[in-house]
Structure 1
Amino acid sequence: MLKRLALLASVGAAFAVVVYASADKAADESKQLPVPEMKFNDVKEIAPGVFFRYSSIAANDPKIPFGGSNHTWVVFKDYVVVIDANFPKEAADVIADIKKTTKKPIKYVLDTHHHGDHAYGNTIWAKEGAQIVAHKNAARLLKANGPKQWEDAAKDRKDIKDNELKQVDISFDDKFELKDETQHVVFMHFGHSHTSGDASAYLPKHKILCTGDACVNGAFNYMGHSNSASWIKCLEAMGKLEIDLICPGHGKVARKDLLAKETRYFTELRAAVKKGIDDKKSVEEITKGLDFPWYKEWTGVGVAETDMNKDSVKHVYNELMGKIDHDRLGAAPSPLDWRTAPTGVAAK
């Protein structure tokens, strides 16, 4: 009888632990910021004084207008901080939306990297009185290669043709911090990921990470200027932060597990390409053999269906074959609409 009572007591205790653990998990989840449901060009306040704008995009579908990068802006006591500059035309659209949410002046704009859909709008933000902030490598690439790339881009976009390239005002190495009694934003460089000059914006008070293209939600990973091995390490470093929401450079707002999806994509892609190289297969053969069912479930497209993914295979292949000079990446421009015209730079 005593043994039976002891057994029942132990079972009851174990059940209580599970119940309490489930309750604690539910309580923790209830404290998290909700993931907003959004349509293209919607603006929503995702945390007190923090707004997100979802720019139009569709993987490998030129029929859907490319709205450039997503945007997050943070309303401080006396000013506004904006993440990403976009193209000139879209920058003006975003400024109009910001003015619907606050009358405070826009003081800082972060270029998360040097690509046109994240930095060419600098000129428009500067006219609003904002200072442009970027990692030193992004500033270097925009200064060294920007003028020629801007000139080339002006052939395809009137908003670029009608404006002038604006360089970075403030560059930083590892961190650039902004804080008052209302908000706290830290611009952080984790290393060479999507580009050598990637920067993310972390809001520790709200547990929000704005990643630029270092983390995207969908089949939007342009790898032409990336270091895929380093990119994985950067994502792992981001994962050490306390995060409720990720505001990606492209795609919808997501939970922290988006970092794991991105990491899995690059890890499995590198492994598949490495195996193909070991088996003496060509890039084309490796690409045709790719099959990541989970990737299609996440993005809606097969891993080998888009031009951008095909180019990613070639990029990783060149990396593993020692044909990529990562220090030179960014010397050639990324395509203005990389969904249908991927490119990259390989060392000769």
Structure 2
Amino acid sequence: MASGVAGGPPTGSGSIELADGVFAYIAPEEYRSNAGFVVASDEVLVIDSRMTPVMAQALRDDIRRFTRSDARLLVNTHFHGDHIFGNELFSPPAHVVAHSSVRRQLRTYGNDYPQIFVDEYHHVRTGYAGEILQVKRVVPPSITFDHALSVHLDGREIHLIHVGPAHTEGDIVVYLSAERVLFTGDLVFIDLHPWMVNCDLSGLIRAMERVTAWDVDVVVPGHGPVTTKSALVVMLEYYRALRHALRSAIADGLSVDQAVEQLSGTFYAHWQQAARLPSTIRRVWPQLQAESA
């Protein structure tokens, strides 16, 4: 376990203490989803539950190294399976908290969601399909909100703030203002092309403009290492650059296939997971066409 943020963000994977009782859980598996937890005197708040029962159990085991208290609240930052399939290992006794759209989406998918997820995302889930299909119950949130919700643990205020539609309709961030710590969910990927098949690009830009204005020292991204506020600016620049490139392609009369060909291998070529870019372009292309009409 790494601890503290003096001299820069801590490195490593697993549980990292960011402030007294505030932990990031950084995926030990390459490119996989992060989580987090806040420990109070007799309860724990968990942020996201990871992608498979095996991963969720590892998170639970790590939490047990710091407290014997049960998780009473489990916050889902959005509905994607790599952040919620572990819910069944925490709930019960934990109550799952999320934006109201997450409940609608998960109730629509029901227990078929693991198979749907594997079928839809098989090309980026290599090696994990078997673990994902071990999920027995897809647990939707039992506590929902539309704009913001504050949770109070031992005098600490934890802000759950809806910033979508952005990466998905129901994105929320978890902001500990006193500690200046922000859990972004999948608004932020570090040196990775984001997975944007459910995104609203203009919404992403608005969300990133919003959070970059906050007082933040430590950022826990949805994927990648613990970082600093500068990562928010980098991610905002990525989304703006993507919008600019595609607006230019539309203005030049290119087709979406031509835009894919033009940008593949050149747009943020130093970032990993470039195979995601074509699906991103196809997702946001009609959004930008509609804006320019």
TM (normalized to structure 2)?
A: 0.86
Q: Are 1:91 and 2:63 an aligned pair?
A: no
Measured at CA, do residues 229 and 292 of structure 1 come closer, stay the same or move farther in structure 2, by a change above 3 Å? farther
**Does residue 1:79 correspond to 2:43, yes or no?**
yes
Partner of 2:26: 54
User: Which residue does the alignment assign to 1:107?
Assistant: 72
Q: Could you tell me which of 112, 116, 120 is aligned with 2:85?
A: 120
Cα offset for 1:159?
5.0
1:57–1:250 Cα contact (<8 Å) kept: no
Residues 107-256 of structure 1 aligned to structure 2 (within 5 Å): 107-127=72-92, 129-153=93-117, 156-161=129-134, 163-256=136-229
1:326 aligns with: none
**Comparing 247-256 with 314-323, which one deviates more in the overlay?**
314-323
Deviation at 1:100, TM superposition (A): 0.6
* Distance (whole Å) between structure 1 residues aligned to residue 138 and residue 154 of structure 2: 35
Superposition CA RMSD, Å:
2.5
What does the per-residue CA deviation read over 1:14-52, in whole Å, with 9 as the maximum and x for residues that have no partner?
xxxxxxxxxxxxxxxxx975544433x432211111111
Contact 2:201 2:239 in 1 (8 A): yes
Alpha carbons of 1:33 and 1:238: their partners in 2 closer, same or farther (altered >3 Å)? Answer: farther
Distance between the aligned counterparts of 2:94 and 2:262, measured in 1?
Answer: 48
Q: Is the alpha carbon distance of 1:35 and 1:103 closer, same or farther for their aligned partners in structure 2, counting shifts above 3 Å?
A: farther
Sort the Cα spacing of 1:162 and 1:45 in 2 relative to 1 into closer, same or farther, 3 A: closer
The CA distance in 2 between the partners of 1:259 and 1:282, in whole Å, is: 31
Distance 2:246 2:132 in 1: 40
8 Å contact kept, 2:198–2:283? no
Residues 166-201 of structure 1 deviation map (CA, whole Å, 9 limit, x = unaligned): 121111111121124442211110121100011110
Q: CA deviation at 1:286?
A: 2.3
Counterpart AA for 1:277: I
Say if 1:76 and 1:182, in contact at 8 Å, map to a contact too.
no
* Superposition pairs of residues 14-93 of structure 1, within 5 angstroms: 34-39=7-12, 41-58=13-30, 68-87=32-51, 88-93=53-58
Q: In structure 2, what is the Cα distance between the partners aligned to 1:118 and 1:291? A: 28
User: Unaligned stretches of 5+ in structure 1?
Assistant: 1-30, 59-65, 324-348
| 1:270 matched residue in structure 2 | 243
Residue identity over aligned pairs, in percent, reads 26
CA contact (8 A) 1:72 1:83 kept: yes
* Equivalent in the alignment of 1:310: 278
Q: CA deviation at 1:259?
A: 1.3
Change (3 A) 1:241 1:160: same
**Does residue 247 of structure 2 align to residue 283 of structure 1?**
no
Tell me, in whole angstroms, the C-alpha distance in 1 between the residues paired with 2:56 and 2:41. Answer: 23
Structure 1 length-normalised TM: 0.73
What is the CA–CA distance in structure 2 between the aligned matches of 1:81 and 1:282, rounded to whole Å? 47
The offset of 1:253, in angstroms, is 1.1
Deviation, 1:158, is 4.1
* Letter aligned with residue 265 of structure 1: Y
- Residues 159, 266 of structure 1: alpha-carbon distance in 2 compared, 3 angstrom cutoff: closer
Residues 95-119 of structure 1: CA distance to partner in whole angstroms, max 9, x if unpaired?
A: 0000011122211111111111111
Q: After alignment, is 158-167 or 100-109 more displaced?
A: 158-167
In the alignment, which residue of structure 2 is the partner of 1:341? none
Assess if the C-alpha contact under 8 Å between 1:54 and 1:71 holds in 2.
yes
Task: Give the 3 Å change call, closer, same or farther, for CA 35–172 of structure 1 in structure 2.
Answer: farther
* SS of 2:90 mapped into structure 1: helix
Matched, 1:257 2:242: no
Between Structure 1 and Structure 2, the one with more strand by share is 2
Provide closer, same or farther for how the CA distance between residues 313 and 152 of structure 1 changes in structure 2, counting only shifts above 3 A: closer
Letter in 2 for 1:82: V
Query: Cα distance, 1:146 vs. partner?
Result: 3.6
Q: Secondary structure at the match of 1:126?
A: coil
